[in-house]
Structure 1
Amino acid sequence: MSGKTTSARPTPRLYLATPVVTDPAPLAASLPALLAGADVAAVLVRLTESDPRSMITIVKALAPAIQSTGAALLIDGHPDIVARAGADGAHLTGIAALEDALPSLKPDRIAGSGGLSTRHDSMRAGELGADYVLFGERDAQGRRPSPDAVNERLAWWAELFEPPCVGYAVSLKEATDFVAAGADFVLVDDLVWSDARGPAAALGEIATAIRNVHAAAPVDAAGQS
């Protein structure tokens, strides 16, 4: 990996994670309009553990609704079914999972990396060829770093490394703070799906807030906001 270039920073984009999908039909029906209303770069599909054929069937049912909008479809884990399901890549949790998945995903598909609890793990993921690194997600016990710790990790990564960094946000404030810290993407899930106004209103609000924070960010002499 090399240091960041000095070109102006693009507006950060959204990365939407689905609830765990058992019946894809309702989600497939609602996703096109939802994704059309905000700048969503990718959708992370979460699957119930099942046999490969059943999981592939679910992903194939969702793929047109996601990919037709220009968003990438990533599967949470299960790199072995990515190609057969027509997905664009997988999100892997932990360095071991990333290492195991890279031969089946590269060079044609996306390999994202999360579960990176230390700076060393983050740098290792980048060295291995992760297409992005995710900071701030919950661990297996439901715990996650403090927002300040996530901000610090995003700022450190954004300043020094080339692969994009993603901040996992559980509130609108976190989403905007992570953008200000340097996140290239903001991952959202329950923040959207649990909003009483509906997911479209929630996603639109987050997208607008991200654009506003990015537009207000100062640009240094090198052109990096």
Structure 2
Amino acid sequence: MAKKKKAVQEPMFARLCLVTPAEFEAAHFAPVLDATLRSGDVASLILDLAHLDPDAALSAAERLVPIAQANGVAAIIAGDWSLVQASGADGVHVAAGQAELRRAVDTFHPDRIVGGGGLKTRHDAMLAGETDCDYLFFGRLDGDTADEIFDKALDMAAWWSVVFEIPAMVMGGRALGSVIEAVDARVEFVVLRDAVWLHPEGPSAAVAEANRLIAARQMEAAP
């Protein structure tokens, strides 16, 4: 089973991760992504390329993965495993169940990151944790349809973060302030999409502000 955390452990707070926009054209998005990743701490970028045909998805991955890596950001492909090797991405995000997640771990470990999503229950999460994947993702990549984090996703991520060693990611809301909910719940990573890419002041300003909110809440919570 997934390893439980030690009884005494330093608290961990949310670091920011991003998901690519629901739709984008890679050539136009590339400079925006580069500027965004330069504007503040981002741990990882999940490339959700489901809206693109296979050739366009490969072209986008080949263009965007090096930008993420040049900024010290782990580039993780959602779904299509073939793009991981072809683009040199750092890992793969799997949301198709325990068997597929285990196969991904067997295929890519120890050289690349493997994360598990599509978790609907605590039982699902514990089964996914048994694969020794690198993170569990609570919520959906397109799950930022409300300003706040969805209660079920946050509750599961908070429970997992308290009990188990494998880090948790939780899908944030469409408002930047949702990162505070993740900090308060001691979830290791909070993921944003529209809150960044559709921010009225631009995505670079959004990343800077999200990091400011995280840091301020961490300071408030410090003993």
Same fold by TM-score greater than 0.5: yes
Q: 1 CA distance for matches of 2:152 and 2:57?
A: 35
1:94-120 deviations in Å (ceiling 9; x for gaps): 324323423322221111111100001
Q: Give the structure-1-normalised TM-score.
A: 0.86
The aligned counterpart of 1:63 is 65
RMSD of aligned Cα (Å): 2.4
Q: Is 1:182 equivalent to 2:152 in the alignment?
A: no
What is the rounded CA distance, in whole Å, between the counterparts of 2:157 and 2:57 in structure 1?
Answer: 33
Q: Which residue is equivalent to 2:206?
A: 202
Task: Report the residue type matching 1:4 in the other structure.
Answer: K
Is the CA contact 2:62–2:86 (under 8 Å) kept in the aligned structure 1?
no
Map of 1:2 onto structure 2: 3
Cα offset for 1:182?
1.5
For residues 181 and 21 of structure 2, the distance between their equivalents in structure 1, rounded to whole angstroms, comes to 24
| Deviation string, structure 1 residues 79-103 (Cα, Å, up to 9, x no partner) | 2321121100111113243234233
User: Hey, what's the Cα distance between the residues in 1 that align with 2:119 and 2:201?
Assistant: 33
Cα distance in 1 between the residues matched to 2:24 and 2:32: 15
Q: Counterparts in 2 of 1:36-185, with a 5 A limit?
A: 36-47=38-49, 48-51=51-54, 53-95=55-97, 96-137=99-140, 147-170=150-173, 171-185=175-189
| 1:169 Cα offset (Å) | 0.8
Deviation per CA, 1:19-70: give whole Å up to 9, x if none. Answer: 146531222212222112111011111213423x542222111122110010
Cα distance in 2 between the residues matched to 1:26 and 1:210: 29
Aligned-residue offset at 1:133: 0.8
* Contact 2:4-2:163 within 8 A present in 1 as well: yes
Q: Percent identity?
A: 34
Distance in structure 2 (CA, Å) of the matches to 1:196 and 1:205: 12
Aligned 8 A contact 1:122 1:133 in 2: yes
Aligned residue for 2:201, secondary structure, equals coil
Size of the aligned set, in residue pairs, is 216
Give the counterpart of 2:20 among 11, 15, 18.
18
Normalised TM-score (structure 2)? 0.87
State the partner residue of 1:216: 220
Q: For the Cα contact (< 8 Å) 2:138–2:156, is it kept in 1?
A: yes
Instruction: Tell me whether 1:193 sits opposite 2:181 in the alignment.
Output: no
Alpha-carbon deviation of 1:11?
4.3
Aligned-residue offset at 1:139: 7.4
Is the partner of 2:21 in helix, strand or coil?
Answer: strand
